Amino acid sequence: MTPNTRTAQLHALGQSLWLDNITRALLASGTLQRYIDELSVTGLTSNPTIFDQALKGSADYDAEIRTRLQQGQSGEALFFELALADLTRAADLFLPVHQRTRGVDGWVSLEVSPLLAYDTQSTLAAARDLHARAARPNLFIKIPGTAEGLPAIEEATFAGVPINVTLLFSTAHYVAAAEAWLRGIERRLAAGLSPDVASVASLFVSRWDVAVAGKLPAELHMNLGTAVARQAYKAYGEFLASARVRRVMNEGATPQRLLMASTGTKDPKASDTLYIEALAAPFTVNTMPEGTLKAFADHGRVAAPVPADGGDCDAVLAAVRRAGIDLDALAAKLQTDGAAAFVKSWHELLGQIASKSAALA
């Protein structure tokens, strides 16, 4: 059980390495525990697509599905029972990390139904219910950082529910999510409640480069996602240094962390560790697909962390704008398309549950 040097160095730099995957086999085989022990993995994220893939090619869930069917459960309710079973088991594996870091790290994430993305009250109700049912201190509930999701993020934070804000694509998206978390914390302080409600803000990286493929000069190829993320990191540092955040930290709050998501390289001609190496930064998270984690463990390297000022991000973004890309419009489109893709994945997941249920009934 020798820790991998590359992943250990990235973790020692101050970044948390999370796995963007979960399957029952990953848990039962001991693979997740091995990633914790050997690859410095300290957390895990999930989404409807990941669970759909887990169910598709495996009989690992069949016995529990049969039992749930006999208990009268089906559809979405059945799915959440399966998901909670996996994620609470994973949360228990990460509990030593969570305790050692006093709640900063060691988290797993479960998403509310994306069908609720534009319904604030229903999102809040689902978040509270799922967190209560999990009964784990280290489980985040994922809520999209859409305009409709932001009030639910604030209300859930005020209610003491730890939130992973997902579907963020720009610095403006990140700042809006951070401020929603902060308002919830400030309201807790005003009400005499503990301000220590953890959160992460998940910025999606690779989809930027997919969206502009073939539309930029060669020197800007595969640079946009990194530049957007580095600009958000600069804003993140400024947010942490603000008087409002320092006040709540002084009262005992653990500040929301920036999470780099969608960091698997989509272009087969580009480095498979591109976004991991380019976005190494202290007091952040990088949640990576299993293949990307293994690739970095095999041949990744980190020369230096992201500069606090974002390095050349502003120059790159200015060049992209000069090339005719409206970054604000593209960020809005990526968020809208991302929400639609999650809904599509959700319907596919429920279809998979229905077909499995019919076969096993």
Assess contact for 253 and 232: CB atoms under 8 A: no
Give the DSSP letter string of 149-174. HHHHHHHHHHTT--EEEEEE-SHHHH
Helix, strand counts (H, E) of the chain: 16, 8
Q: Count the neighbouring beta carbons within 10 Å of the beta carbon of residue 71.
A: 10
Token match 């984690």: residue?
293
Assess contact for 287 and 22: CB atoms under 8 A: no
Contacts of 8-11 spanning 24+ positions with Cβ under 8 A: 8/40, 9/302, 10/40, 10/276, 10/280, 10/286, 10/296, 10/300, 10/302, 11/40, 11/42
Query: What is the rounded distance in angstroms from the CA atom of residue 73 to the CA atom of residue 105?
Result: 34
Query: What is the rounded distance in angstroms from the CA atom of residue 361 to the CA atom of residue 220?
Result: 54
- 142 is a catalytic site residue: yes
Show Cβ contacts of residue 97 under 8 Å, excluding neighbours closer than 6 positions.
36, 42, 43, 105, 106
Query: What is the rounded distance in angstroms from the CA atom of residue 268 to the CA atom of residue 6?
Result: 22
Question: Running DSSP on this structure, what letter comes out for residue 219?
Answer: G
Angle between helix 290-299 and 5-13 (nearest 10)? 100
Q: Count the neighbouring beta carbons within 10 Å of the beta carbon of residue 243.
A: 6
Choose among 130, 129, 182: nearest CA to 157: 182
Of the candidates 56, 142, 234, 333, the residue annotated as catalytic is 142
For the chain, state the CA radius of gyration.
20
Show Cβ contacts of residue 285 under 8 Å, excluding neighbours closer than 6 positions.
15, 16, 17, 18, 43, 200, 257, 258, 259, 260
- DSSP-based three-state secondary structure for 42: strand
Catalytic residues: 142
